[in-house]
């Protein structure tokens, strides 16, 4: 009998790749094994470490992910979550219908998934297969523990060497995380072979994101204002923009939540939060832009 923590990896040979030799990984008892016998055990929490030796940023500690989860679960990012669900749902629509009944599952990759807030929402609300990875083992452990459905393939993995087979993903989701556009294009379904091209949904901060904290800390920041233009330009260099959606909400917050927010946001990394008069902040704006696109042609491979 296949245990719950193993069942989600039953089709691994169709999507996951060995980080050492890049061949397909197949479920064998409680491990993922490639033809060259590289073996990766499935942890009891339901994740697999497919990361070689790598240094992690001290900013992204277990405590920082716990702070992020507290803010996310409090509902402050629900409008961003709903926008992501809508964008992925639109990407899913072309593959639905009678012709898709016997097709391979629609697969979503959450790149840099952190504690798994968006990956869990996608799996719970849409009829899709979800693979999610992050460089932080602490984050993935947290994500796996909170996955009550035991349905997401959680991986510790590297953005520079995504442990996913070429052309096996229909939609990449990248929420407030770094991008590797070459890797995204590699794993996405090729346009010439798919009924619908692979789609990237990249979420970036809007110009008014955290404007209250930015104004409070402006003396310690390199720039008083934020623009995502450079990020957008880089996106459009690699992907053809098919949609761009802005979502914004301003929330009244307790001083406690403001302090938790200050601990989690990269905006204040390197700044002593205790030196800021956070009690002055009564509300915080959460603004995001979703950049949606398909890979620009790379020519024959």
- 171: annotated binding-site residue? no
Task: With respect to residue 287, please indicate whether it lies within any of the assigned structural domains.
Answer: yes
At 194, is the secondary structure helix, strand, or coil? coil
Residue for token pair 């979703």:
290
Query: Taking the alpha carbons of 22, 25, 30, 36 in that order, is the dihedral positive or negative?
Result: negative
Is 157 assigned a ligand-binding role in the annotation?
no
In a domain, 13, yes or no: no
**Could you tell me where the DSSP H helices lie in the chain?**
4-7, 62-73, 78-92, 117-125, 137-145, 181-187, 211-216, 229-238, 255-264
pLDDT digits (tens, 9 = 90+) for 212-270: 888 876 656 656 667 899 999 999 999 999 999 999 999 999 989 988 888 787 766 76
> Residue 76: inside a domain, yes or no?
yes
Q: Is residue 59 part of a domain?
A: yes
State pLDDT tens for residues 7-64: 999 999 999 999 999 999 999 999 999 999 999 999 999 999 998 655 555 556 777 7
Q: Any idea which residue has 């947290």 for tokens?
A: 142
Read off the CATH number of the domain in which 108 is found: 3.40.50.150
145 lies in some domain: yes
Is 79 annotated in a binding site? The answer is: no
- Counted domains in the chain: 1
User: Would you say residue 9 lies in a domain?
Assistant: no
**Verdict on whether the full-model pTM lies above 0.85:** yes
Asked if residue 113 belongs to a known ligand binding site, the reply is no
**Is 38 one of the annotated binding-site residues?**
yes
76 is in an annotated binding site: no
Any idea what DSSP says for residue 112? T
Is residue 226 annotated as involved in ligand binding?
no
Residue 116: which domain range?
47-295
Q: What is the mean pLDDT of residues 134-159?
A: 94
60 assigned to a ligand binding site? no
**Is residue 6, in this structure, part of any structural domain at all?**
no
Count of C-beta atoms within a 10 Å radius of residue 228: 16
């Amino acid at each position: 009998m296949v245990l719950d923590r193993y069942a989600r990896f039953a089709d691994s040979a169709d999507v996951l790749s060995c980080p050492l030799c890049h061949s397909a990984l197949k479920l064998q008892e409680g491990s993922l094994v490639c033809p060259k016998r590289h073996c990766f055990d499935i942890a009891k929490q339901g994740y697999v470490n497919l990361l070689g030796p790598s240094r992690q940023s001290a900013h992204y500690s277990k405590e920082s992910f716990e702070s992020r989860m507290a803010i996310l679960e409090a509902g402050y990012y629900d409008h961003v979550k709903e926008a992501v669900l809508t964008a992925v749902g639109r990407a899913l629509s072309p593959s639905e219908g009678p012709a898709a009944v016997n097709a391979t599952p629609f697969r979503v990759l959450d790149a840099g998934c952190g504690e798994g807030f968006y990956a869990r929402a996608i799996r719970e609300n849409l009829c899709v297969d979800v693979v999610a990875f992050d460089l932080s083992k602490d984050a993935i452990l947290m994500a796996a523990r909170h996955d009550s459905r035991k349905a997401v393939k959680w991986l510790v993995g590297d953005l520079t060497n995504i442990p996913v087979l070429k052309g096996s993903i229909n939609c990449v989701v990248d929420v407030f995380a770094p991008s590797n556009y070459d890797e995204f294009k590699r794993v996405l379904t090729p346009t010439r072979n798919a009924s619908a091209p692979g789609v990237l949904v990249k979420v970036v901060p809007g110009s008014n994101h955290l404007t209250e904290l930015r104004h409070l800390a402006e003396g310690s920041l390199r720039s008083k204002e934020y623009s995502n233009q450079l990020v957008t330009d880089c996106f459009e260099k690699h992907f053809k923009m098919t949609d761009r959606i802005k979502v914004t909400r301003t929330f009244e917050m307790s001083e406690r939540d403001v302090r938790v927010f200050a601990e989690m946001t990269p905006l204040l990394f390197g700044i002593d939060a205790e030196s800021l008069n956070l009690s002055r902040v009564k509300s915080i704006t959460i603004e995001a832009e979703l950049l949606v696109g398909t890979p620009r042609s790379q020519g024959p491979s």
